[in-house]
Structure 1
């Protein structure tokens, strides 16, 4: 697993990295640029957890009645129960 922090986003941020020629699944933040690279894609689960928490905090409906079964993730990038 490799992590990259670049000063630029988009294709300029990818230029010169292994992502340019990578033939596998990329885990990323859903930036549309990444869909031009790799052979498969997975959104970073920290982002998915953030969307879930936002829904639990801001939406109403019967489908959220059992949402309290999900642990509170706070600001931790990866909650303890996830590891």
Structure 2
């Protein structure tokens, strides 16, 4: 194709391939970041679960003239 019609197909294809490669790398980096974030969240959840197992809590629930009441405590352990 003549130059005056914009016939630089080789350059255009090269640029398209470069953009595609960059997008693939960015997608891969985003996946890695997401996996790392998920690992951190799982680790945090595991830590919370371990702490909850170590600190057994009891749900106290009662109803009186003030209404229905409830709260968690580790001061009273009911088994």
TM bucket by the smaller chain? under 0.3
Between structures 1 and 2, the one with greater helix share? 2
TM-score of the two chains, using structure 1 as the length reference: 0.23
Q: TM-score, normalised to structure 2's length? A: 0.24
More strand by share: 2
